[in-house]
Amino acid sequence: MTAILATPAALAQDPPQWALVVHGGAGVIERGAMTPRTDAAYRAAMARALATGEGVLETGGTAIDAVEAIIREFEDDAMFNAGRGAVFTAAGRNELDSSIMDGRDLNAGAVAGVTSVRHPISLARAVMEHSPHVMLQGEGAETFAGEQGLETVPPAFFFTERRWASLEGELGRLGLPIPHRPEGAPDPEPVDEGALLRDSREHRFGTVGVVALDTEGNIAAGTSTGGTTAKRWGRVGDSPILGAGTYANNRSCGVSATGTGEYFIRLTVASRICALVEFDGLTLQAAADRVIQDELTAMGGDGGIVALTPGGDIAWSFNTPGMYRARLSAGGEPLVAIYGDEE
């Protein structure tokens, strides 16, 4: 599914002072599987994300600031597969990945497999700004987080009954043993069957992401995820990999992706879209559609992206039935959408 968000007349106008586009994951997200209450809750969460970013950018904050602020909010919202709402690995752990990139100078930071950092996006930014490296993983990333004074939490902080029940169901399907309930987790409680069905269909590769344009004309992008339910062997997807799940370059565009990470890595989805804009002269929407609707689909991959140019053009493209998504430009009205038949 695509969103045509810029007309020739609009392109001739001055670019907006700032702009935002966000996503909360893609998948089999269909009207029939969503109660009105759940639909409203997701729309409200996406609208809050826009309001958070607007508050940063309208007061002169940087694109990096806006990306971090919005994703921190998502990481504390158990509805999304990031931070507190992260899915569990087959071993019964929450292993979190995140990345952030600054389009001004291509500086970037990423973390993979962290288990005790409340806000992985802030750790990714710390890697970018306070280390000589681009990616840290596991125990070393957590040691660095402590040295930087970032907030750490016990692993049970990330526990949600909904995600644990989803893990049990997936492990049963795979014929794998169910691990012991994590230490410090609350007593078991009933889980809505509708929520479990949605998890199995829409959050198989849930992720959150943001691309922002600030008043200085700079682009930044960031992505955060808990990965895939019942992942094994230290699996890492595309979210912390620059060029695959996240990319930002003031010469072309910024992109944040959500989907089956193995395909996004192989196709280098995020940087490929930006390269088509910069070197082939494609519009942002045309570049996004070529990569998602044609190339990714031909490979058998599924998911989507949100993207933004320094000129304020916004696009999204996804080959799944739905994607939680929203956008806002200075002086404009917010747009929040979930299903494939929405604008």
Q: Which two tokens stand for residue 199?
A: 């998890």
CA–centroid distance for 259 within its chain = 9
Q: Which residues neighbour 280 within 8 Å (Cβ) at sequence distance 6 or greater?
A: 287
CA–centroid distance for 110 within its chain = 13
Pairing of β 135-137 and β 254-259? unpaired
Distance CA 44, CA 286 (A): 30
Do 201 and 33 touch, CB atoms closer than 8 A?
Answer: yes
Residue carrying the six token digits 């709402």: 85
- For residue 274, the SS3 value is helix
Cross-strand partners of 179: none
User: What backbone phi and psi angles, to 5 degrees, belong to 286?
Assistant: -65, -40
Residues noted as catalytic: 207
User: What backbone phi and psi angles, to 5 degrees, belong to 76?
Assistant: -100, 0
Distance CA 209, CA 198 (A): 20
Element (H, E) at 267: helix 261-267
Q: Which residues neighbour 258 within 8 Å (Cβ) at sequence distance 6 or greater?
A: 23, 25, 26, 205, 206, 207, 208, 209, 223, 225, 245, 303, 304, 305, 323
Q: Which two tokens stand for residue 169?
A: 């169901």
Do 238 and 269 touch, CB atoms closer than 8 A?
Answer: yes
